[in-house]
Structure 1
Amino acid sequence: MKAEKKTFFAGMVGNILEWYDFVVYGFLAAIIGKLFFPSGNATVELLKSFAVFAVGFLMRPVGAIIFGYIGDKFGRKKALTISIVMMAISTTAIGLLPTYETVGILAPVLLVLLKLIQGLSVGGEYTTSVSFLVEYAPQDKRGLYGSVGILGAVVGILLGSASGAFITKVLSEDALYSWGWRVLFFTGVILGLVGYYIRKHIDETPKFLELEYEELKSKSPLKELFTKGRSQLLKTFALSTFQAVGFYIIFVYIASHLSVFVKFPKSVALTINTVSMIILFLLIPVFGFLSDKYGRKPFILFSTFFTLILAYPLFSFISSGSFENALIGQVVFAVIVAGFMAILPTTLVEIFPTEIRNSGYSIGYNLPFAIFGGTSPLIATYLIKETGNLASPAYYLMFAAAIAFITGLFLKETAKEPLK
């Protein structure tokens, strides 16, 4: 495997596994609810299943602190190797769990524990992998390399969707409930083993090795972050708020919106979402490449500005009841936010110095995801309930875009500068 491909795969694989699990769990939520929280009420079972999922989000900031520290203190490679092992073991272990019928209350307790472990590993995985990729990159390719991290998330979502669609096509409902649901989690062990092998045999990033050689590693990365890196941390939080809300509203919530409120069949809603994800997948490396030529700031301002002015009309268009309108609206959303999502990873790596980069990026990025990301579908649904307006989720998206746009105005362009 060529060095560049090896670096890309080492950076992507954990994000593929993370988002594969995200989609698979969501896809299997009703089944997990019935097997682990049997109550005779399908809605209550589903709510409990999603409550367990939310617990993982709460652990992300904790994981960010732990893995941010490990990455800054002992190296990006060490943090990535530990996180992929934790993710692979916890994902596979969910597939091995006994159900409520077999062991009673122990079954949901074990499920919660495994989701907590997953949340911890996820809190450090994405941001550490992006730091790893950008620190490895040649100066004129940092935007492209950094975009590979978010590309891994999109691949994971598409892989999870395809796996879910395939298994429901080939298995009966009885088989799905008795053993089929486990198969989707077992797939995680393959990604985990391959990822562990690649990460175990790749070198530490040149920037971290330089830090070690010059004996400039921070003795207390967290303390240094909150004394010297507060401005960068606040910018990271503000920009990541749009990333969290944008991703969960556009690529997670809208599928449910089309199904529940616009009354599209689930298969149609998922088809529209899949098409938009493919567009996102194709555009991310393109925008990453372009940002190396034209800078990060123009694309951040472009994406947030056009989200601010087009979110409401696009949501109205999507909610009109027409398949063509919904597809066009979702695709336009994907085009608008692709630039931001492709470029944000590299931008946030570039604003921190190496000695506190992993801690700063991990904490500043994961906090908004815990606060705003996981709650976005809930808030979008609440807005519709209170206003009776199917386009009202756009207000939340516009709020996040406005914060990121204002922050973007104060960003210093970093594309042509060496890493701090």
Structure 2
Amino acid sequence: MSNESSVAAEQGTAPAAGASHNHNPSPNHTVSKDTRRRVVTASFIGNFVEWFDYAVYGYLAGVISTVFFPESDRQTALLATFGVFAISFFVRPLGGFIWGHIGDRLGRKQALSLSIVLMSVATFCIALIPGYATIGVMAPILLLLVRVVQGFSAAGEYAGASAFLVEYATANRRGLYAAVVPASTAAGLLLGSLLAALLSSVLTAEQLNEWGWRLPFLLAAPMGLIGRYIRTKLEDTPAFRELAEKDDGVKAPALAMFRTYRKQLIIATGAVLLNAVGFYVILSYMPTYLSEELGFGATESFLATTIALASYIGFIFLTGIASDKFGRKRMLITASVLFILLTVPAFMLLDTRNFLVIVLVQILLGGMLTLNDGTLPSFLAELFPTKVRYTGFAVSFNLSNALFGGTAPFMATLLIGMTASKLAPGWYLVAAAVVSLIAVLFAAETSKKPLLQD
């Protein structure tokens, strides 16, 4: 039995007789170093733009809660703000199916070019919505509608960019190439955090509430146009072009995924759980946690998260390299075990209220998260064959993020209120790590093997 057949057998898929399982690029689709460089650049910039747009809401949650919701106690307003944040995630599984269908049927490039336009327009519109004091209940309703559009757009981005990079990469560097996706996501978060820190330090609270919070959202339009322009200048991936030339795709990728690749779908959804909860608790919710729950100043909270994000970006590429060397499964298992053992002690240290300790703890948590996040894109892309890769990735990634990622800030705030314990978000992270560990244990190792095509 060949390596590829072994992988298929381990993952619960029986290749059809005479089918070609592997992606071995034909001479017509050889890729130059210059092309790969442009692919990496375009993927980084496009993903950076989308996730800057998407993340600014989380960093400005405290201000948004006062602008869009009626006067009430602070925790209720925050719950309402994070509730809107969570509801926008519920459309993401639907978006995963639709973007997956477009990406697997019409091409990765087509899906990615459309998604960035939607995200940029929706984010720009947030800057134009009047507050509750001006239009009453229509303010949070309009905010919710725009966030739903953002959620739908984001559903196609992470999966599409990952599939794009993995299909362009050489077999021994797929982990490194795919690590560009979480790195660019963190870079978008980093810019959002820097802008939030800058605005909170140079503007008065009144100026920030009245108009300052709108400025980052206004940047969405020009940034989105730049990202889309760069993407339209690329060819689609060699793997997809070969599939299209052979007319070997499937008319209903989602149906094919559920019919043939159910085990991979379950494994992928479980494996994403640590990423979903960890990403939004550690990199998005943390400034709010530090300021609202621990009493830190807004500027200090944003600064601590900004430092942690910068270190995260550096760690993520090291993780991508390590996953190419040691394998996806080993890296993902290590990440889960570390979170199970160290998360609650780390949250205990946050309560010391010492700025240096808080920065070091956030760097530690971010570094642990990179072991998962830097490995996950290549792992998920390698689980599924070319004809359903975008769909399989997008549906599993967005389903887990909808149920547990988008709700993470809401759940963290709610659990703190219910338990009166500031450690509640830490225990929530531990539970996510346990589920991810179990899922990964059932997966086959996919690194260093040809991509599955059928």
Query: Normalised by the size of structure 2, how large is the TM-score?
Result: 0.85
1:362 aligns with 2:377: no
Question: Does the CA contact (< 8 Å) of 2:197 and 2:303 recur in 1?
Answer: no
Distance in 2 between the 1:179 and 1:397 partners?
Answer: 35
Cα displacement (A) at 1:178? 4.5
Q: CA deviation at 1:340?
A: 1.2
Q: 2:172 aligned to 137, 140, 143, which one? A: 140
**Offset at residue 338 of structure 1 (A):** 1.2
- Output the CA distance in 1 between the equivalents of 2:201 and 2:428: 36
The 1:170–1:350 alpha-carbon spacing in structure 2 relative to 1, beyond 3 Å, is same
Residue 331 of structure 1 corresponds to: 363
In the alignment, the residues of structure 2 paired with residue 381 and residue 48 of structure 1 have an alpha-carbon distance, to the nearest angstrom, of 11
Q: 1:266-305 CA deviation, whole Å, 9 max, x = no partner?
A: 3333222222211111110111122222221221111111
Match of 2:451 in 1: 419
Is contact 1:317-1:326 (8 Å) kept?
Answer: yes
Correspondence 1:191 to 2:211: no
User: Which structure has more helix as a fraction of its residues?
Assistant: 1
Q: Report the counterpart of residue 380 of structure 2 in structure 1.
A: 348
Deviation at 1:358, TM superposition (A): 0.8
Change (3 A) 1:326 1:298: same
Q: Tell me: CA distance 1:263–1:96, structure 2 relative to 1, closer, same or farther (3 Å).
A: closer
Residues 220, 183 of structure 1: alpha-carbon distance in 2 compared, 3 angstrom cutoff: same
In the aligned structure 1, how far is the partner of 2:197 from the partner of 2:240? Answer: 42
Asked if structure 1 preserves the Cα contact closer than 8 Å seen for 2:327 and 2:446, the reply is yes
**SS state of the match for residue 10, structure 1?**
helix
- Of residues 18-27 and 356-365 in structure 1, the stretch that sits farther from structure 2 once superposed is 18-27
Separation in 1, partners of 2:136, 2:346: 47
Q: Find the counterpart in structure 2 of residue 400 from structure 1.
A: 432
Aligned residue runs from structure 1 range 7-406, under 5 A: 7-39=39-71, 46-99=78-131, 106-406=138-438
Q: Greater shift after overlay, 16-25 or 276-285? A: 16-25
Would the alpha carbon gap of residues 378 and 183 (structure 1) be closer, same or farther in structure 2, given more than 3 Å must change? closer
Shift of 1:327: 2.8
Counterparts of 1:103 and 1:332, CA distance in 2: 44
Amino acid at match of 2:354: S
Cα separation, 1, equivalents of 2:330 and 2:39:
28
1:95–1:182: 8 Å Cα contact kept in structure 2?
Answer: yes
How much has 1:331 moved relative to structure 2?
1.9
| Alpha-carbon contact 2:46-2:231 (below 8 Å) kept | no
Q: Compared with structure 1, are the counterparts of its residues 176 and 306 closer, same or farther at alpha carbon in structure 2 (3 Å cutoff)? A: closer
Could you tell me whether the CA contact under 8 Å between 2:53 and 2:123 is conserved in 1? Answer: yes
Aligned length: 420
CA deviations 1:250-271 (Å, max 9, x no partner) are 2233433333343333333322
What secondary structure does 1:286 align onto? Answer: helix
SS at match of 1:59: helix
Partners of 2:298 and 2:206 in 1: how far apart?
Answer: 21
- Asked if structure 1 preserves the Cα contact closer than 8 Å seen for 2:287 and 2:302, the reply is yes
What's 2:26 paired with? Answer: none
Deviates more, 1:33-42 or 1:138-147: 33-42
Question: Is the CA contact (8 Å cut-off) linking 2:276 and 2:401 kept in structure 1?
Answer: yes
CA shift in 2, pair 1:189/1:347, >3 Å: same
Supply the distance in 1 between the matched residues of 2:64 and 2:291 (Cα, whole angstroms): 21
Find the aligned partners of 1:390 and 1:172 in 2 and give their Cα distance: 29
- Output the CA distance in 1 between the equivalents of 2:42 and 2:261: 28
Q: In 1, Cα distance between the equivalents of 2:79 and 2:422?
A: 23
Q: CA deviation at 1:320?
A: 3.2
User: Relative to structure 2, which stretch is displaced further, 261-270 or 276-285?
Assistant: 261-270
Unaligned 5+ residue runs, structure 1? none
| In 1: Cα distance, 2:73 partner to 2:327 partner | 53
Q: What is the RMSD of the two structures over their aligned residues, measured on CA atoms?
A: 2.4
- Is the 1:258–1:319 contact (alpha carbons within 8 Å) kept by the matching residues of 2? no
Higher mean Cα deviation, 386-395 or 150-159? 386-395
Q: What is the percentage of aligned positions where both structures have the same residue?
A: 38
Residue identity opposite 2:89 in structure 1: F
- How much does 1:154 deviate? 0.3
Question: Residue 33 and residue 269 in structure 1: after superposition, are their counterparts in 2 closer, same or farther (change >3 A)?
Answer: closer
Higher relative contact order (CA 8 A, sep 6+): 2
Report the secondary structure of 2:175's partner residue.
helix
TM-score normalized with structure 1 length: 0.92
Contact 2:270–2:436 (CA<8 Å) still a contact in 1?
A: yes
Shift of 1:211: 0.6
- The 3 A distance-change label for structure 1 pair 48 and 254 is closer
* Larger CA deviation: 168-177 vs 124-133: 168-177
**Is the 1:13–1:191 contact (alpha carbons within 8 Å) kept by the matching residues of 2?**
no
> Aligned to 2:374, what secondary structure does the other structure show?
helix
- Deviates further, 320-329 or 346-355: 320-329
Amino acid in the other structure paired with 2:220: G
- Is 2:85–2:407's contact at 8 Å kept on the other side of the alignment? no
* Residue identity in the other structure for 1:294: F
Residue 39 of structure 1 deviates from its aligned partner by 4.8
Aligned counterparts of 2:242 and 2:51: Cα–Cα separation in 1: 32
Task: Supply the distance in 2 between the matched residues of 1:171 and 1:306 (Cα, whole angstroms).
Answer: 40
SS of the counterpart of 1:96? coil
2:127 match: secondary structure: helix
Distance of 1:50 and 1:395 partners within structure 2: 19
Q: How much does 1:317 deviate?
A: 2.3
Pairwise CA distance, 1:201: 1.1
> Separation in 1 of the partners of 2:339 and 2:86?
27
